[in-house]
Amino acid sequence: MTVRIGAVELGTGRPRICVPLTGTTVDALAAEAAAVRPEVADLVELRIDRFEEIGSSRAVERAIDAVRAALDPALPILFTCRSAREGGGAALPPALLEAVSSVAAGHGAIAAVDVEMEATGGLARTLAARVHEHDKVVVMSFHDFTSTPPHDEIVDRLARQAELGADVVKLACTPRTAADVLRLLGATAAYAARPDARPAITMAMGPLGAVSRVVGEAFGSVVTFGTVGAASAPGQLDAGRLRDALDLLHEARQQDS
């Protein structure tokens, strides 16, 4: 199965590179967007949870407009309001989270919206449906900043996200040993082999898990996150160097096929 976010197809070829924008003001976000080039990135993630005026729908719209105007037209935007519980900067009540997500879903410049699997107030299914009302892609996510879940739990969580309305499923975890990284990769491959699998994004965070951000093509992870400036999660790699590594591994896989 493949899914398109804008013109970017997920599920074939090498993993796509997503660059997070983490500025706290409209001007900061626009400056970050202007620095991202399609030579190193395939899409960008607008992390609105760090935006100082997140409580204002009009301000959020201005931020989206500014990013779109500064960004290369070839790069689609994934809109994310990451909760503090999952490593972000927002601790929004359900009503405000729903309002912010609705603004993004209805904005013509947004191609996809991140919905947390364990969204405040049990809103995951509701938010996914709202995004789909506007014919946008739902990327559903889960982050574990303390550990790496067991193999079966990783697979089950990804499958559950699809049941809740995800078009693309995502899980990030924290490895404590090399075996944890291997378990994540193995579970990713197991999920990707299912006949009902959606395109999956998985990663092990932190320095120990950096390898998981590079080898996704071999295990079934379709997007990896790279930096042009500030990182949005532990262990993210420079987007330019990441593209070089992904291209090299993809070429090697093509030669062996």
The ranges assigned to domains in the chain are 14-250
pTM: 0.94
User: For a pLDDT cut of 70, what percent of the chain falls above it?
Assistant: 96
Residue 121: band (very low, low, confident or very high) from pLDDT cuts 50, 70, 90: confident
Question: Over 90: is that where the pLDDT of 253 sits?
Answer: no
Query: Would you state the pLDDT for residue 231?
Result: 61
SS3 content of the chain, % helix, strand, coil (to 5): 45, 20, 35
Look at residue 107 in the predicted model and tell me its pLDDT. 98
Q: Which one is catalytic: 136, 143, 151, 250? A: 143
Pick the catalytic residue: 132, 134, 170, 250? 170
Q: Could you confirm whether 143 is annotated as catalytic?
A: yes
How many whole angstroms separate alpha carbon 96 and alpha carbon 200? Answer: 28
Q: What is the DSSP string of 42-71?
A: SEEEEEGGG-TTTT-HHHHHHHHHHHHHHS
What is the pLDDT at residue 41? Answer: 96
Decide: residue 62, CB within 10 A, 0-12 exposed, 13-18 middle, 19+ buried. Answer: middle
Residue 234 pLDDT level (bands cut at 50, 70, 90) = low
Max Cα–Cα distance, the chain, nearest Å? 52
- Domain 14-250 has what CATH class? alpha beta
Which tokens belong to 81?
């309001």
